[in-house]
Amino acid sequence: MKTVLVLCGGRSAEREVSCVSASAVLRSMPAGWKPSLVWIAPDGAWHLQKDARALAKAPKPEKHRFDRVRVRLEPGSPSRLVWAGRSLVPDAVFPVLHGPQGEDGTMQGLLDILGWPFVGAGVLGSSVGMDKEVSKRLAVHARLPVLPYAVLTEPGGLGAARRLRLPVFVKPARMGSSVGVYKVKRAADLGAAVRKAFRFDTTVIVEQGIEAREIEVAVLGAPGAAQASVVGEIRPNAEFYSYEAKYLDPDGAELLVPAELTKAQAAGVRALAVRAFEVLGGYGMARVDFLMDKRSGKLWFNEVNTLPGFTAISMYPKLWGAAGLPFPRLVGRLLDLALRRGRSQARLRITRD
């Protein structure tokens, strides 16, 4: 029986969503894996859940009993999780974390140092995927279709943003789940939206808005052998697919799986998703989001999410379920990929010939 350490919570504004995702992952743990759960509190402290099944039933960490845990570094071997006279060396880690200090490469770097194989992209792929400005710059370099955008590093520097055609979307560069995202339809409202977005990050992206369909694809695997799921579409019942529409309003959006596309369109989207996954350093999993112009049908790369939501209604597991890969098998595949990468890294030399 292999052990997997499921991480949830964290210090970002998306920590509550993380716990709901972790609950779904725990309910779908495949045979052969024994989960242990660590909740990372808002202050950064790590707490071990005695019974991982408890969170699987009720994703409210503060309502469950935890033990404070610490990590003990073991030179030359994987580190140990220590608590109450006991210790654990996990075979793999599933960081079900969203937002800064979860999917931006910082946690991935820590797990590398600890010697624990983990699910999802590595340090570079995670940080690139989290940073909308860097991912767009690399996408443009790779000649992926990207809508015009402006990068702001201070609230008052609106010159480049004002040259974009309205409406525009204002976004923190390194945030997910539509936290801090605002749609601006009047030039007079741009400054206020930018100031609000700067509450969440030191860099803000202003993107050209279009009348678009929101198209999403789930990618699974390693570079060179990654596969794309069926194509899905999100039809928000509001101005855009906001945080409230994603997680708070049960009628916030209609999820179409598969999307209403021709075979040629779907094949093109899937191929472009795998291309974006590889260009941006993906590994294991990612949800690649596109915008499709409602008039011309032209496809635009929007962003890649290296640790997508894993709730019961999240698009990543739903897309793979529609492709014939149910939730437990999906989790199993992701854990197998984590072990495979861990074995590859363990073979690397750390001394000269």
Confidence of residue 16 (pLDDT cuts 50, 70, 90): confident
Determine the average pLDDT of the residues in 218-239. 92
Q: Which of 12, 18, 177, 314 is catalytic?
A: 177
Judged against a pLDDT cut of 70, whether residue 63 lies above it is answered with: no
Q: What angle do CA 76, 10, 136 make, to 5 degrees?
A: 90
CA dihedral over 193, 197, 199, 202, signed as positive or negative: negative
Confidence of residue 185 (pLDDT cuts 50, 70, 90): very high
Residue 287: active-site member: yes
Residue 243: active-site member: no
Residue 239: active-site member: no
**pLDDT score of 253:** 74
User: Do both 75 and 132 map to the same domain?
Assistant: no
CA distance 91 to 93: 7
Confidence of residue 65 (pLDDT cuts 50, 70, 90): low
The total of structural domains in the chain comes to: 3
Please tell me whether the peptide bond between 250 and the residue prior to it is cis, using omega within 30 degrees of 0.
Answer: no
Identity at 76, one-letter amino acid code: G
| CA 162 from centre of chain | 30
Domain that residue 65 falls in:
2-119
Q: Which of 149, 241, 243, 247 is catalytic?
A: 247
Q: pLDDT tens across 25-37, in order?
A: 999 999 999 999 9
**pLDDT score of 218:** 98
User: Do both 101 and 170 map to the same domain?
Assistant: no
Please tell me whether the peptide bond between 258 and the residue prior to it is cis, using omega within 30 degrees of 0.
Answer: yes
Residue 254: active-site member: no
Task: Write down the pTM of the prediction.
Answer: 0.90
Judged against a pLDDT cut of 70, whether residue 241 lies above it is answered with: no
**Long-range Cβ pairs for the range 50-57 (8 Å, 24+):** 52/6, 52/26, 53/26, 55/8, 55/19, 55/22, 55/23, 55/26, 56/23, 56/26, 56/27, 57/23
Boundary-marking domain end, from 164, 189, 208: 208
**pLDDT score of 67:** 82
Q: Using alpha carbons, select from 145, 322, 131 the residue that is nearest to residue 217.
A: 322
User: Do both 271 and 157 map to the same domain?
Assistant: no
User: Do both 21 and 90 map to the same domain?
Assistant: yes
Residue 131: active-site member: no
Q: Pseudo-torsion of CA 239, 267, 230, 284, nearest 10°? A: -100
Q: Which residue has the higher pLDDT, 111 or 64?
A: 111
Q: pLDDT tens across 274-297, in order?
A: 999 999 999 999 999 999 999 999
Could you tell me if residue 311 is inside a domain?
no
User: Do both 14 and 62 map to the same domain?
Assistant: yes
User: Do both 141 and 191 map to the same domain?
Assistant: no
User: Do both 185 and 67 map to the same domain?
Assistant: no
Judged against a pLDDT cut of 60, whether residue 245 lies above it is answered with: no
Which residues, at least 6 apart from 352, have a Cβ–Cβ distance to it below 8 Å?
none
